[in-house]
Amino acid sequence: MNSLRETRSASYGQGFLLTAKFTTRNVPVRPMKVKLIGTHQTAAPIHEIASRMAGTFFSVDGVVDFKPVEGKRYEVTGELKKERSCVWIADAETKAEATEQVCTK
């Protein structure tokens, strides 16, 4: 599971009420490729359609090389903007980037 799926599941049948869910997972301490997705999330599909038509729905995805360090915690973070959207993995404590950024072109 991931945060997108968990949020969709928690929000199902609630109209425009979005119930955000954030997931965590343990990963092995070894270099790996990770697919990152940064996107707006809506409670109702019609809201997403309307946002896309209005030009206010942004998303970005891509694969990054990630080398976790034992004992560290990381988070996926980023920015979704009309000009440019980016997503990356950062150290949860220092906020330093732990991967390259995946950005829209």
13-53 pLDDT, tens digit per residue, is 777 878 788 888 888 999 999 999 998 888 878 888 898 89
User: pLDDT-based confidence at 77, cuts 50/70/90?
Assistant: very high
Residue 19: give the domain boundaries: 3-103
In this prediction the pTM is 0.79
DSSP label of 71: T
Which ranges of the chain would DSSP assign to H, the alpha helix?
3-11, 45-54
Return the closest-CA partner of residue 27 out of 56, 82, 67.
67
Question: What pLDDT does residue 41 have?
Answer: 83
Q: Give the chain's domain count.
A: 1
